[in-house]
Amino acid sequence: MLSTSGGKAMGKLIEATHEPAGVEINMKPVLDIVEDIFERATPAAPGAIKQVDASESDERALHYSSLEQMMDVLSATINRISCEITYRLSIGEDAHSTTLAVAQIVKGFSWDAKIVLALAAFAMTYGEFLLVVQLYTTNPLAKDVALLKQLPEILTRADLLKPKFDTLANLINAMVVVAKCTVEFKGLPSKYIRPEDPELSSANADIPSAVYWTIRSTVICSSQIMGLINMGHEFLSSTTDAWELSSLTHNINSIYNDLVDKLNRCRQRINERKDIEAFETLVRLFDAIHIDNTKILKALIYAKDDQPPLWDGTTKQRVSIELLRRSVLLLISDLEIPEKELIILEQIYNESRVQPKRIESQYEVIWIPIVDRSTTFDDTKRKQFESLQAMMPWYSVRHPSMIQPAVMRYIKEVWGFNKKPLLVVLDPQGRVANPNAMPMMFIWGSMAFPFTKLREEALWKEETWRIELLADSIDPSIINWAKDMNWIRKFTTTAKAVAKTANIELEMLYVGKSNPREKVRRNMTNIELENLSHTLSDISLIWFFWVRLESMWHSRAQHGVTVRNDLIMQEILTMLGFDGSDQGWAVISRGADEMARAKAETFLKSLEEYTAWEAAAAEKGFIPALNDHFRSLRTEHHCNRLTLPGISVAEIGSIKDTVVCVDCGKPMEALLMFRCCTD
């Protein structure tokens, strides 16, 4: 009867008795009381009373008062089941027949109610028996009842009583978790899962069998209690009964494992549909018009409780969303956001707070961490999150779990987040003013406020290719950059000699590569020791110099600007191409607008050939003459490489026609590069 086919057959028998009356009853409160009885009745030793703290007692008292009306309806049925089981067992009827008799009593109830009512009937029997067990040594009434039930002799044999109750407790626990499962199936929201869905359909087919075996188990457990009363020591030592209890426990646990697996799949389906609904709601919400940004922010940041959902990185206190009524910049990243990127953003943010009443300072920043929910948010990730949060002077969500899956999907699909941090701008009405203001922030800082596309266009219209654009926020005295130490020494020596001959003042600053590593650090140390040129105070400024250039490219490209029709774009790509090459390079400027740049070989050769263009320098000026000499050295043969970080494979097709060689104007071949650089 414990086989799969046998279990299904028993389920069919129960289904044949099922005649639902159409009355829906929430059985969870009854199940809570049943579970409470089993927990309190568990015997530690005869005469020992389980202690419950006062707060738990008060909570239970409130729970009981809410059940009174429900029990008016159910108590008669519970008593009838208890009496039916006691009577049939007392006349020697087998467990199977008794189980079907109980099924007839509960035929009008739902599937979950059948199980809970049978458990409640047994809980009464079990609880009454254990009350006597716990009180008989101290309470005269309990002692008299124990005497009538012939219990005192049995209760003196704790060595035999405990194994029996341990085995019973295992079966009881198994029945309770199955009951919880069926109650939870009953409570699944019909809005998100339907009976015809395979997950729920499969579970519904198995529940009748679960009902049969749970009712049968209550019958067997009741017979165990009756056996203790009627048979004494002989019953305590019965190995046959112990085997039957263990077999039933195994069977009920198997049923539970199957049901809970299907319940989890139902929950997954429900969550998927809820996420779809939440995503669609979010889409509609962003399309709607709002009087402020509160509704949008509350939709993005899920507050589980009444506690304020944001953490103020400056005051180190929790704050509510309602405080953020002006423009909000959402810093979206995973937990791998580069520290150097945070340092630059922090510098820009702190500068904007120096004069908080300025128009450029009228914005707030919130960090929205995107954490993969398919993996556990363990202690390592928690420390990583808290470490990043501690570095941020702006607002952040209290915990990554406050960013729901639907919000993460929206951020990825609509705003295009893919590991690379975004800075999404919401205006005071919650509208998206810019899906990524990170390039603007890196190029112009807070001067880009309110970070809209119109503001970006206006800023670019004011720009020309000048040293301030190239090196703003890095070092106002930048003149050139060099890479390899031998070339750096040769270049700086030659440049100083030419400057002396040309009677011009010359200052130099070393910048290195876009991904500064140990080699760049060593170069900086050697340059300082040998007094070859200036260096930057912080290596992160080297990274920032290059990321500003990349930001300029992204910003210009978003406005449809190409190399063919824009001088600034030509110079940006030239600089990025320099960074992608294996050789050194330099840029030199005089004043704000006069600039010359070339690769290492061309630049150094031009300086070494200064006498050839010295007269032109005296006539035209040093920079124009140097540019003319660069052009005279140019040949048809060249090989330029350009690395554009942050470009996905899908984007390559849309931009490849706009990226042309700065030397010959031909479209550059698009290649996919994978790099692991440990230098």
Is there a contact between 81 and 117 (Cβ–Cβ < 8 Å)? Answer: yes
395-452 pLDDT tens trace: 999 889 889 999 999 999 999 888 889 999 998 888 998 888 888 888 888 888 888 8
The residue with tokens 């590569």 is 513
Predicted pLDDT of residue 183: 93
pLDDT given at position 395: 92
pLDDT of 59 reads 54
39, pLDDT greater than 70 = yes
Q: Which pLDDT does position 483 carry in this prediction?
A: 47
Q: What band does 49 get if pLDDT is binned at 50, 70 and 90?
A: very low
pLDDT digits (tens, 9 = 90+) for 191-205: 999 989 998 989 888
Give dist(CA 524, CA 483) in Å, integer. 10
pLDDT for 531: 80
Q: How far is CA 518 from CA 512, 513, 525, 629, in A?
A: 11, 11, 11, 35
pLDDT value of residue 152: 60
What's the CA gap between 396 and 403, in Å, rounded? 11
> What pLDDT score was predicted for residue 79?
92
Domains and CATH numbers, the chain: 18-42+61-276 (no CATH), 293-446 (3.40.30.10), 467-642 (no CATH)
- Give Cβ neighbours of residue 508 (< 8 Å, ≥ 6 apart): 479, 480, 492, 495, 532, 533, 534
How far apart CA 292 and CA 298 sit, in angstroms, is 11
Q: What is the mean pLDDT of residues 257-263?
A: 93
Integer-rounded Cα Rg, in Å, for the chain is: 39
Residue located via tokens 């406020």: 449
Instruction: Please give the model's pTM, rounded to 2 decimal places.
Output: 0.63
Given this model, what pLDDT does residue 5 score?
Answer: 46
Tens of pLDDT along 110-124?
999 999 999 999 999
> What are residue 594's DSSP bridge partners?
590
CA distance 13 to 18: 9
Q: Report the DSSP pairing between strands 310-312 and 395-397.
A: antiparallel
Question: Helix H segments across 149-197?
Answer: 152-155, 158-186
Most confident of 43-57, 406-420, 529-543: 406-420
Which of 478-482, 561-565, 644-648: highest mean pLDDT?
561-565
The kind and range of the H/E element at 512 are none
The mean pLDDT of 157-162, rounded to a whole number, is 65
pLDDT band at residue 46 using 50, 70 and 90 as cut-offs: very low
The one-letter amino acid at 29: P
533 neighbors 510 (Cβ within 8 angstroms): yes
Q: What is the pLDDT of residue 208?
A: 93
| 240: pLDDT strictly greater than 60 | no
Tell me the pLDDT tens digit for each residue of 605-644: 888 888 888 888 888 888 889 888 888 887 766 666 766 6
Residue 266 and residue 188 in contact, taking contact as beta carbons nearer than 8 Å: yes
Q: What is the DSSP string of 62-101?
A: HHHHHHHHHHHHHHHHHHHHHHHHHHHHHTT--HHHHHHH
Encode pLDDT of 448-494 as tens digits: 888 888 888 888 887 777 766 766 655 543 433 334 567 778 888 88
Q: Which of 6-20, 272-286, 492-506, 641-655 has the highest mean pLDDT?
A: 272-286
The average confidence (pLDDT) of the chain is 80
List, for residues 86-104, the tens digit of each pLDDT value. Answer: 999 889 899 999 999 999 9
Please compute the mean of the pLDDT values over residues 67-75 and round it to a whole number. Answer: 74
Q: Which strands sit side by side in the sheet containing 395-397, from one edge to the other?
A: 317-319, 310-312, 395-397, 363-369, 327-333, 422-426, 432-434
pLDDT tens-place string over residues 292-325: 888 899 889 887 767 788 888 888 888 888 888 7
Say whether pLDDT at 218 is over 90. yes
Considering only residues 395 and 673, tell me which one the structure prediction assigns the higher pLDDT: 395
Q: How many CB atoms are located within 10 Å of the residue 249 CB?
A: 20
C-beta atoms surrounding 254 within 10 Å: 15
Q: What is the pLDDT of residues 332-384, one digit of tens each?
A: 999 988 888 888 888 888 888 877 777 777 888 999 999 988 888 888 899 99
Residues pairing with 310 in the sheet:
319, 397
Q: What pLDDT does 647 receive?
A: 59
Q: How far apart are CA 23 and CA 348, in angstroms?
A: 65
Q: Which residue has the higher pLDDT, 491 or 170?
A: 170
Distance CA 402, CA 108 (A): 44
Query: Would you state the pLDDT for residue 599?
Result: 82
DSSP string for residues in 128-150: HHHHHHHHTTT-HHHHHHHHHTT
Residues in the chain: 679
| pLDDT at 511 exceeding the cut of 70 | yes
Tokens 């140097």 correspond to what residue?
626
Q: Check whether 232 has a pLDDT greater than 70.
A: no
Nearest-CA neighbor of 117 among 6, 21, 4, 33?
Answer: 33
